[in-house]
Amino acid sequence: MRIALSALAARHPAAAGAAAPALKPVTLAISPGEQVAVIGPSGAGKTTLLHALACALKPAAGRIELDGTDPWSLPVAQLQKLRGRLFLAPQTPPLPPRQRVITAVLAARLPQQSLLASLRSLFYPTHIAEAEAALARFDLAGKLWQRVDRLSGGERQRVGLARALLSSASLWLVDEPLSSLDPSRATQAIETLTRCAQECGATLVTTLHQVDVATRFPRVIGLRDGELQFDLPSREVTRGRLAALYAQHEEELLGAAPQPPDAAPEGAQAPLYCR
Ligand SMILES: Nc1ncnc2c1ncn2[C@@H]1O[C@H](COP(=O)(O)OP(=O)(O)OP(=O)(O)O)[C@@H](O)[C@H]1O
Ligand SMILES: [Mg+2]
C-alpha cells in the first residue's frame, strides 16, 4: 500500500485543549512494499503516527492518502472496507484471556468474513493449517489449542504478530513488537516479521525502541516531541543523529538491545500462506 502524508497533525481526543498535538505536521511518502522503522524517545508520537496511519485517529490538520485515497473522505462503509486492508498490531495485543490461540489468530480474518462465517469459526475453526503455519513462523506451532491466558507475555506478543499473516492487509502497522521478548527471540521475531511482510508484498511500518534493530531496516524515521527529526536510509542514521534524537533520554538509547541475527536454517520454516 502506498502512503502519503501531507502536513498531517494528530491530537488525541482526550488530550487537554491547550496541549500541543501529539503529532505535529508531518509530510512523508512510503512506497508499496517498503519497510520502515520509527524510533524516538518515549512520548515522541510513534504510536500516534501508527494510529493515524491505521485510520484510528482522524487528522487534526493536513491529509493522509492510502493508495491515493483520503480515507476520511470515504463513506463509513468504504472506510470500514479500507480498514480491513490495514493490520495494526498494538504493543499489547488485545487477546481475550479465555480464548484459544487458534481463535485469536483467526480473528485476523474477521474483516473479510461475513458475520455468519465469523460466528461459525468461533465454534468450528476453519483455516487451521494457515493458522498453524503462521504460528510456526514465530516458533509457536505447538500452542495452537492453548488458552491465551496460559501463554507468557512474549508468546502472546508473537501470537499478535502471527495474526498479520492471516489478515489480507497490505499495510502492516506494528507497535513495539519486541518489548516483551528476550534478545534472541526479539531477533528471530523481527527477522520473521520483515521476511513475511516481504513475502506477502505488504508495506511494513514498525515502531521500535531497539535502535540497533531499527537501523537494520532500509529506512528509519526519527520522531521527537511529535516532530519529524529525520527520515533517512539507515546507513545515514549516524551516531550524532541518534544522540540528538535521544538527547536527555540517553538511557533509552543505551537500553538492552537484541543480538545480531543467527542465520535461520533454511528448511526449518513452515510454509507461509499469504491471504
Ligand atoms: N490516549 C491519549 N490521550 C491523550 N494523550 C495521549 C494519549 N496517548 C498518547 N498521548 C500523548 O501523546 C503523546 C505521544 O504519545 P505516543 O503514545 O504516540 O508516544 P510514543 O512515542 O509511542 O511513546 P512510547 O515510546 O512511550 O510508546 C504523548 O505526549 C502522550 O502523552
Ligand atoms: Mg508508543
Please state the domain extents for the chain. Answer: 1-85+170-183+203-255, 94-168
C-alpha grid cell for residue 89?
498490531
- Looking only at the bridges linking them, the beta strands covering 227-233 and 35-39 are unpaired
Q: Whose CA is nearest to atom 6 of ligand 1?
A: 12
CA atoms within 13 A on the CB side of 180: 16
Identify the residue whose cell numbers are 485476523: 108
CATH superfamily for domain 1-85+170-183+203-255: P-loop containing nucleotide triphosphate hydrolases (3.40.50.300)
Contact between residue 41 and residue 249 where contact means Cβ atoms under 8 Å apart? yes
CA-CA distance, 141 to 135, in Å (whole number)?
5
For residue 23, the Cα-to-chain-centroid distance in whole angstroms is 18
Ligand sitting nearest the alpha carbon of 23:
1
Q: Each residue's pLDDT tens digit in the chain (275 positions)?
A: 999 999 999 999 887 777 788 999 999 999 999 999 999 999 999 999 999 999 999 999 999 999 999 999 999 999 988 998 999 999 887 778 888 999 899 888 877 766 676 677 666 777 788 999 999 999 998 999 999 999 999 999 999 999 999 998 999 999 999 988 888 889 999 999 999 999 999 999 999 999 999 999 999 999 999 999 999 999 999 999 999 999 988 888 765 444 333 333 333 344 444 44
For residue 232, the Cα-to-chain-centroid distance in whole angstroms is 19
CA of 267 to the centre of ligand 1 (A): 42
Give the 3-state secondary structure of residue 9: strand
State pTM to two decimals.
0.89
Atom of ligand 1 nearest to the CA of 209: 25
Q: Whose CA is nearest to atom 27 of ligand 1?
A: 42
Q: Which residues line ligand 1 (CB under 6 A)?
A: 12, 14-15, 22, 40, 42-48
